[in-house]
Amino acid sequence: MAYFGMEADTQNSYDVFEKAFGGQILPGTTYYHPGRVDIRTRIGRALLQKQSLSTTSGGAGTAGSGMIPVWVMPDVVDETRKQTPLVELLPRQAVMGKTVDFNALTTRAAAAFDIENEALATQVSTYERRSRAIKYAYSKGSVTGPAIAAMRGYQDALQLDIVDKTIALRELIEDKTINGAAATTPAEFSGFLSLITSHTRSLSGVNLLISDVRTEIDTIFNDSGKCDLAVVAPATATVLKGQLMDFQRYVGEAVNLPFGIAGSFSVDGVNFVKSRFLTDAAASRKAVFLTSNSWYYGVLQDATYQELAQTNDSYPFMIKEYLVLVDKAQKMNTSITSIA
């Protein structure tokens, strides 16, 4: 007598049998007899092929599956990096002493025509001594012994931190080149926005126009300068480019720069660079128009790596630089504030 479901049960039994012996023998087969037959090795190989270790074997892992290690790429993605073009665009001059001192001719006495054999008046020009104090910038790091040991073969922990601190120092100098204010923070040097005092104006929340750019160029020209570089906020650069497209099909990239700067362009011979160190808040944006050869860094000591004393199981160090931004003639530059 047959019962309902018997065929299915029989089939399941054969499936289980086949899986148990790798499909190598039939039911009732003697697969091992001492000295006569031994096909256990063949069965074992078949089982390995049919029951391979899969990506899910062994239970779920933290970021993958059991028995599969997680491989972390050694690259470090820097989500904070900022371009520092001014550090490269401005000259660096080696100096001695704790100050950078120089003389400026502020008023040139005018020459004059006179009649024959007349007593000549002496023309006296005016000179002024100027001085800028060297400032000291530091970036300190430290890596513990366990971190170095644990990261060996994957990352050079000390080198990774040295690179990080070097970039931090570079970004500090770029920031202070624009925004430094020694009057507020005596330890730092003053930057463009603090040093440019002869020609500065506010747009009172209005967009910067090409006509404004030409006004700044003319102002600088009339005060003995030659504007060749402008630093603006990102949104201001976009607005200017939009105006150029109204009458110019192609907005050419700036030329004669030491390296490529994304988004730079030229207007009337002035290279425009957008900076991540200028605020991009509406109605608070700023721009500076520069005669680039009227600026330089006076450098007492360039960026230098120095190991510090060990007081525990760590390797402290610092990157240091002694310098100051020197404004040889600030009146040859202009600044605009409160741009939309």
21 domain residue, yes or no:
no
Q: Give this prediction's pTM.
A: 0.79
If we measure between CA atoms, which residue out of 139, 54, 64, 168 comes closest to residue 320? 139
298 domain residue, yes or no:
yes
118 domain residue, yes or no:
no
Supply the pLDDT for residue 63.
Answer: 56
164 lies in which domain range? 133-339
5 domain residue, yes or no:
no
Supply the pLDDT for residue 203.
Answer: 96
Supply the pLDDT for residue 18.
Answer: 77
Rg of the Cα atoms in the chain: 37
Supply the pLDDT for residue 209.
Answer: 95
Supply the pLDDT for residue 35.
Answer: 79
65 domain residue, yes or no:
no
Domains in the chain: how many in total? 1
26 backbone dihedrals φ, ψ, rounded to 5° = -100, 160
CATH of the domain at 263: 3.90.1690.10
For each successive 10 residues of the chain (340 residues), what is the average pLDDT? 48 72 81 84 75 58 62 89 91 96 94 90 94 98 96 94 97 98 97 97 96 96 96 94 73 53 82 94 96 97 97 97 97 97
42 domain residue, yes or no:
no
326 domain residue, yes or no:
yes
17 domain residue, yes or no:
no
Supply the pLDDT for residue 44.
Answer: 80
Supply the pLDDT for residue 20.
Answer: 78
Supply the pLDDT for residue 60.
Answer: 52
Supply the pLDDT for residue 166.
Answer: 97
